[in-house]
């Protein structure tokens, strides 16, 4: 086999893995690890269960791969932000806006993470590089405190609350939609933008140090 044939084979292999991961993400969002069916994933991707297990070992291996891809994708979002801007508030605004956009663009993940908490008590969540998403935010809050721009706080608790504000609207939209007028689309572009504005301002107000 020549070099080009090998490259083509690798591209096909990666494309197949990507299709499997996309389908698996949808399936896990519907029922978590316990409710997901590899037969359904194979059907959606035009592959077989044996092919899925060839790439990912078993259903648990596939589930972990979905979680790892999600965290890696979110980490790229965090890394795209200038976390060392002269004003920590500017960095925090940009980071929260980027997180909100990412969460709103990948609704399957909020469902998967909720199932992970309910079904697995965070077992698999603890095995992925979760800290890679939280540590930059924690460090940013610490810098703001050190610079005298943010109030005294527990940076870890504050980071968890900030991420929670970014996520709750999306993971609970089917419940909280009843707080609005009938027919209001919480996932419409207008409502997403309104949520983003409100969340950012509340987060900034919550961490700023006022004289």
The fraction of the chain above a pLDDT of 90, given in percent, is: 82
Scan for tokens 């993470």, then name that residue. Answer: 113
pLDDT at 145 over 50: yes
- CA dist., res. 45 & res. 183, Å (int): 34
Cβ count within 10 A of residue 90: 12
For position 119, which CATH number holds?
A: 1.10.357.10
- CA dist., res. 109 & res. 88, Å (int): 28
- CA dist., res. 130 & res. 121, Å (int): 15
- DSSP-derived letter for residue 209 is P
Confidence of residue 5 (pLDDT cuts 50, 70, 90): very low
Owning domain of residue 91? 3-207
Tens-place pLDDT, residues 174-197: 999 999 999 999 999 999 999 999
Q: What's the token pair of residue 132?
A: 């890679």
Counting the structural domains of the chain, the total is: 1
Tens-place pLDDT, residues 90-122: 999 999 999 999 999 999 999 999 999 999 999
Instruction: Specify the pLDDT at position 10.
Output: 57
């Amino acid at each position: 086999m020549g070099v080009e044939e090998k490259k083509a084979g690798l591209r096909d292999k990666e494309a197949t893995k990507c299709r499997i991961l996309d389908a698996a993400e949808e399936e896990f969002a519907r029922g978590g690890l316990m409710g997901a069916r590899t037969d359904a994933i194979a059907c959606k991707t035009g592959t077989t269960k044996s092919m899925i297990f060839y790439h990912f070992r078993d259903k648990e291996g596939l589930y972990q791969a979905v979680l790892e891809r999600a965290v890696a994708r979110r980490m790229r979002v965090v890394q795209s932000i200038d976390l060392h801007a002269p004003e920590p508030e500017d960095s925090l605004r940009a980071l929260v806006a980027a997180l909100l956009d990412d969460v709103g663009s990948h609704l399957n993940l909020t469902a998967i993470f909720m199932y992970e908490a309910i079904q697995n008590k965070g077992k698999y969540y603890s095995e992925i590089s979760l800290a890679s998403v939280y540590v930059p935010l924690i460090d940013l809050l610490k810098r703001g405190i050190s610079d005298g721009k943010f109030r005294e706080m527990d940076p870890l608790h504050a980071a968890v609350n900030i991420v929670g504000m970014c996520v709750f609207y999306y993971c609970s939209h089917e419940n909280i939609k009843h707080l609005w007028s009938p027919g209001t689309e919480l996932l419409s572009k207008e409502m997403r933008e309104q949520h983003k504005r409100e969340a950012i301002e509340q987060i900034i107000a919550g961490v700023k140090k006022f004289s």
